[in-house]
Copies of this chain bind each other. A is one copy, B any other.
Amino acid sequence: MGYRTLAATLSGVAVFTLSVSAAYVIWSKGGNGSGLYSRHWSPDSVQGYWDPDNFYQPSKSVEGVFEATLCIQCHEGITPGIVNDWRASRHARIDEPVYCNDCHGSNHQQLHLPTPVVCGNCHEKQHGEFRDEARYGFPSHVLAMERAVDAPHFADKPKAEVQSCVQCHSVATKCDSCHTRHRFSAAEARHPEACITCHSGPPHPDDESYFASAHGKIYRAEGKDWDWSKKLVKGNYKAPTCAYCHMDEGRHQVAHKSLWKFGLREVNPHTSKNQLLREQWIELCSDCHEAKKAAQWLSELDRERKSAWAKLYRAEDVLKNLRSNDLLRPAADERPDYPMGSFWRMERIGFFEGQASAFYNVSALERDYFEMWYFDNLGAYKSAAHGNPQGVDEGHRRMAATLERIETKAQILRHRSETEQSVIANPAVTDLWMKGKYTDFNRTHN
């Protein structure tokens, strides 16, 4: 068991190191996929729209090289909506309009979908800020795609579900996740809806927690009458939206003010760096609130986090203790040989062992902990951060319930005979992943 613990720790360190460096390596375009694990997956065709630079294949149905006026003339009949959008956009109304072919090219059989680099040709400041997020590691928008394809579960999860992840992670590869085509409006992107296209649902209920907060509900009731052409500076909006706080003054860089790292791992609130960030937040909140209140609110968040980590660490201890006594079954080396299985055969208990990849092919107890950590904990955090009190209660209530379930199961495991343990532990998982239609299907389709 000592070996396993050591291996886990080492692998944990390895993951951490790899993932830090991965941001700066050029992806190997080996096999069909891209990224570190490119040999282990192949892209679905629709991936071309989510990662156009790597995978988009233009239609070959129309031949010819077209001038902008011809693009518009033809598409006015075929897809009038996008032409309307363009006409209503600033692109069409400036002195030297930005036409279709400026972004897509002119040869209809070689059309491309504009990446942030293309947009950055004109919008240099915004693109620079966007790229600058990489300095802060992950989570960040600019690394969202490569970190998705570089996570072991990208190859291990059933592809239908992976595709769901990638759909949002494509925010790294195209600007119209927030400024929808073909109006590309700044006013639109200032609306909270621009963000929550992706930031909703577990594990990141920013949607749910903002809209259920006092801020969000003022927006819901009155936002329809606000002047969204105004800049995101104090005095312009009665209540803040996502962008007001996270992209203050329109800065396209969301990562630099991150205080608690998404709730994914514990953060020491007393480091000098954290204190500096905290002052930035307090200044921002002071656009409307007493500074003292902002500081107190941040302390409440520290308290909430402390309470959450008390529960999470306790669950982690229980699991690690079971592992030391060889009671966590199926153990990593008893699990099916998944795409990434041989490379990554270890338990994943806690952030530093790659817990974020524990979606599948783990013991039931690891999975319980995964859900407690990734869904309930993050839900509580987001709710606390956005001022949605019910979400805090809900998250903590669920965490407490899961912790109790984990402790009960662990206690039963310790009291049972060996024969019984092998049955009760979680035989279903072994069976589920070892054989049968489901596993076979996944194995051949990732």
A residues in contact (CB < 8 Å) with B: 44-46, 48-49, 59, 78-85, 158-161, 163-165, 167-168, 180, 183, 188, 191-194, 196-197, 200-202, 207, 212-214, 217-218, 220-222, 224, 234-238, 286-288, 290-293, 296-297, 299-300, 303-304, 306-308, 310-311, 313-314, 359-360, 364, 367, 384, 387-394, 396-397, 400-401, 403-408, 410-412, 415, 423-424, 426-429, 431-432, 436-438, 441-442, 445
Contacts and interface: CB of A to CB of B under 8 A. Distances in A.
Contacts of A307: 158-161, 441-442
A197 B214 contact: yes
B400 A81 contact: no
Given A197-B214, A423-B411, A441-B306, A296 B390 contact: no
Considering residues A59, A80, A217, A424, which has the most beta carbons from chain B within 10 angstroms of its beta carbon? A217
Name the residue among A193, A220, A314 with the largest chain B CB count within 10 angstroms.
A193
20 contacts: A44-B299, A46-B299, A49-B296, A81-B236, A81-B287, A82-B288, A161-B392, A163-B300, A163-B392, A165-B393, A188-B222, A193-B218, A201-B388, A201-B394, A202-B394, A207-B212, A311-B438, A314-B436, A404-B428, A407-B427
Given A160-B307, A297-B46, A389-B165, A404 B423 contact: no
A126 to B, nearest CB: 20
A199 B222 CA distance: 18
A300 B217 contact: no
A46 B300 contact: yes
Nearest to A166: B389
A25 to B, nearest CB: 27
Contacts of A411: 423, 427-428, 431
Contacts of A221: 188, 191-194
Q: How many copies does the complex hold?
A: 3
Nearest to A205: B390
A66 B316 CA distance: 56
Contacts of A392: 160-161, 163-164
A249 B441 CA distance: 40
A167 B215 CA distance: 14
A308 B159 CA distance: 12
Contacts of A408: 364, 426-428
Task: Kindly list the 10 A-B residue pairs having the minimum CB-CB distance in the complex, ordered from nearest.
Answer: A201-B390, A80-B235, A407-B428, A164-B389, A193-B221, A46-B296, A408-B428, A191-B221, A160-B304, A160-B307
Contact of A220 (B165, B193, B201, B234): B193
A297 B164 CA distance: 12
Given A59-B292, A438-B311, A389 B167 contact: yes
A224 B221 CA distance: 9
Contact of A300 (B160, B207, B237): B160
A303 B427 CA distance: 28
B207 A288 contact: no
Contacts of A165: 389, 393
A293 B49 contact: yes
